[in-house]
């Protein structure tokens, strides 16, 4: 068996490029489903929005979860990419609860007050990935001081945290300025724009190529 690398900054085994390619599939799927639903007059279908947002915001998480499972089955050494994939896979169910719960409570999901719904569809998996990545680093370092130091020097984790904090502000501003996802294509586009989950894997992939 190949020995695990000792240098904590080496990410040759962290196949972020493998995860990056899944995002485009989710975006295309969300737009295609949204277009079809609009064509059939289902612009405001709640179930339609759920499907569109799940595909546009979390479609890549399904494939990344499959990637993580595949890594586990083939017995490869646990990597940041695998931890990232597991975190995104388990985090993808959270927005379903938030979405349907908000509708049951009578919240206007098309207005400013519903700005957080596309946020969680787009980034709940990213939050899960960030937490999973942090726990992965802690398992390697075993001390929280070293874990935090490794975290703040890991470009993928830092970019991920920045996205988690900044995207909801952008969504709120756009809704405040009058945007409302009253077609399924608009629903897909809003979710796609908010779904910057592809940026951290891109950073990891570029770092991997550079090194």
Confidence of residue 7 (pLDDT cuts 50, 70, 90): very low
Separation CA 6–CA 22 (nearest Å)? 29
Interval 111-115 mean pLDDT = 94
Residue 14 in this model has a pLDDT that exceeds 50: no
- Per-residue pLDDT, 198: 80
- Per-residue pLDDT, 84: 57
pTM recorded for the entire structure:
0.76
Contact 208, 17 (CB under 8 A): yes
Separation CA 141–CA 124 (nearest Å)? 26
Determine what percent of the chain is predicted with pLDDT higher than 90: 41
Residue 75 in this model has a pLDDT that exceeds 70: no
Number of domains comprising the chain: 1
Interval 131-146 mean pLDDT = 86
**Domain span at 32:** 16-210
Residue 194 has, within 13 A of its CA and on its CB side, a CA count of 34
Interval 31-57 mean pLDDT = 93
- Whether 8 maps to a domain, the answer reads no
- Whether 1 maps to a domain, the answer reads no
């Amino acid at each position: 068996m190949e020995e695990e690398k000792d240098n904590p900054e080496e990410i040759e085994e962290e196949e972020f490029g493998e995860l990056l390619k899944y995002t485009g599939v989710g975006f295309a799927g969300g737009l295609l489903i949204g277009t079809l639903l609009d064509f059939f007059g289902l612009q405001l279908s709640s179930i339609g929005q759920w499907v569109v947002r799940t595909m546009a915001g979390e479609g890549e998480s399904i494939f990344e979860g499959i990637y993580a499972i595949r890594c586990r089955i083939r017995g490869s050494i646990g990597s940041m990419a695998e931890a990232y994939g597991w975190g995104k896979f388990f985090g993808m169910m959270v927005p379903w609860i938030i979405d349907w719960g908000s509708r049951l409570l009578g919240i206007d999901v098309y207005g400013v007050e519903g700005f957080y719904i596309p946020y969680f569809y787009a980034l709940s998996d990213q939050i899960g990935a960030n937490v999973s990545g942090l726990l992965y680093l802690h398992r390697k370092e075993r001390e929280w001081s070293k874990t935090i130091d490794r975290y703040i020097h890991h470009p993928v984790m830092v970019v991920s945290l920045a996205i988690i904090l900044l995207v909801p502000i952008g969504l709120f501003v756009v809704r405040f300025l009058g945007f409302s996802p009253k077609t399924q294509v608009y629903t897909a586009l809003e979710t796609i724009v908010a779904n910057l989950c592809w940026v951290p894997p891109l950073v990891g992939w570029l770092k991997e190529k550079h090194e």
